[in-house]
Amino acid sequence: MPMSNDILSRRNFIKLAALGLAGYHVKPWGLISALAKPAALIPDFPAGVRLGRVCVEGKVTIKKRPDADSETVGALYEDAVVPWLREVVGRKPYYINQRWVETPDGFIYSSDLQPVYYQPNQPIQELRETAIGKGMWMEVTVPYANVILENPPSSNSWVKTKKELGLPVRVYYQQVFWVDRIRTNEQGQVFYRVNPNFYGGVDMLWVPAEAFRPILPEEVEPIHPEVENKRIVVDVLSQSLSCYEGDTEVFYCRVSTGAKFDYLGNPVDKWSTPLGKHQVTRKYISLQMSGGTTGAGYDLPGIGWTSIFVTGGVAIHSTFWHNDYGVPRSHGCVNVSPENAKWIFRWTNPVVKYEVGAADITQTGERGTAIEVVEV
């Protein structure tokens, strides 16, 4: 499905319009009630086909062939969305990843494109009643959606940083959030209130409900809970993760562990994933993670299916900001795809209850699943 310049131009216009919307944070329900065009918050993406979202900052180039030295035929910027026709093996000298994505206009290096779909949902009218009040865990099922802020950004938050840089505040495909309120505007469009940090956040967001699908309690139920001898082996050399029940490997996936170089290309050890024997100590259905320093800092909400195994926050968790599995590039964590992170989360101990959203072995007295990080 070719994407014409007209469509790209319209998307750029919507993006610019979103910049203005993202600035509103006084009496948000008045703004929501005034909205007449949902497209201002969710662009008109192609439905039912695989898409790719540019998930890196700055510009990515489109090549005539899947080769870094091929002719450049175009460029895209962060959050541009294009049809994903197929993935092929190409050429990018000095890089581990040699995969490229074919689009109607040429080839884009695969690590720069998050695989996404546009799958809008029928809004629900009532949230579940839980021990902590009404609410549900939900997953984003559109490439991205712009949000409306309920309140001024808190200090030193990802929301404040986005606004200071003049960037739109958005939620992205396969992020996971807790939704605690539902409202309908005068045009009949339903909005969910999203808490980006269920465990103490203050930056509340309103997002069109069609951007989310509810996560049901059965999706969090443990996998093979009767098995006692479970262990995980992460190999930082092969960039792989294997789950074992006894001596039988029951799950395997590619990962991205700690980066070998900083953002300037200098070799570093500070981001290495710690070698040795560990255990899962804490788990979160969704977590806001932050850290780093100027030039290499990060503050990311809605990270789903997080399993922490080293003090300081080193974890196995889902990733929506790159598609470069098999290449070391994290700040020490084990990056995996959202689908793989969810399976690992459900398979490992401790078990997480839906309404609580987290588990901590120091409080429950359980023993977490063993994790060994090796380099062989």
Q: Per-residue b/e over 231-270, b at no fewer than 16 CB within 10 Å?
A: bbbbbbeebbbebbeeeeeeeebbbbbbbeeeeeeeeeee
The residue ranking higher by pLDDT, 48 or 81, is 81
Over residues 335-353, the pLDDT tens digits come to 999 999 999 999 999 999 9
186 has a pLDDT exceeding 90: no
pLDDT bin (cut points 50, 70, 90) of residue 158 is confident
76 has a pLDDT exceeding 80: yes
Mean pLDDT of 155-175: 89
Over residues 190-216, the pLDDT tens digits come to 999 998 877 766 789 999 999 999 999
**244 in Cβ contact with 317 (< 8 Å):** no
Proportion of the chain above pLDDT 70, given as a percent? 86
145 has a pLDDT exceeding 80: yes
pLDDT value of position 32: 53
pLDDT bin (cut points 50, 70, 90) of residue 376 is confident
39 has a pLDDT exceeding 90: no
**36 in Cβ contact with 128 (< 8 Å):** no
Q: Return the number of other C-beta atoms located less than 10 Å from residue 54's C-beta.
A: 20
pLDDT value of position 270: 79
* 21-30, 37-46, 79-88: least confidently modelled range: 21-30
pLDDT value of position 16: 35
pLDDT value of position 131: 79
- The closest alpha carbon to 22, from 142, 144, 185, belongs to 144
297 has a pLDDT exceeding 60: no
The three-state DSSP-derived secondary structure of the chain is CCCCHHHHHHHHHHHHHHHHHCCCCCCHHHHHHHCCCHHHCCCCCCCCCCEEEECCCCEEEEECCCECCCCEEEEEECCCEEECCEEEECECCCCCCCEEEEECCEEEEHHHEEEECCCCCCCCCCCCEECCEECEEEEECCCEEECEECCCCCCCCHHHHHHHCCCCCEEECCCEEEEEEEEECCCCCEEEEEECCCCCCCCCEEEEHHHEEECCHHHHCCCCCCCCCEEEEEECCCCEEEEEECCEEEEEEECECECCECCCCCECCCCCCCCEEEECCEEEEEEEEEECCCCCCEEEEEEEEEEEEECCCEEEEECCCCCCCCCCCECCCEEECHHHHHHHHHHCCCCCCCCCCEEEHHHHCCCCCEEEEECC
pLDDT bin (cut points 50, 70, 90) of residue 31 is low
280 has a pLDDT exceeding 90: yes
Instruction: Return the structure tokens found at 120.
Output: 């809008």
110 has a pLDDT exceeding 90: yes
pLDDT value of position 230: 98
pTM of the model: 0.88
Q: Return the number of other C-beta atoms located less than 10 Å from residue 26's C-beta.
A: 11
295 has a pLDDT exceeding 70: no
Mean pLDDT of 359-369: 91
pLDDT bin (cut points 50, 70, 90) of residue 243 is very high
The residue ranking higher by pLDDT, 40 or 325, is 325
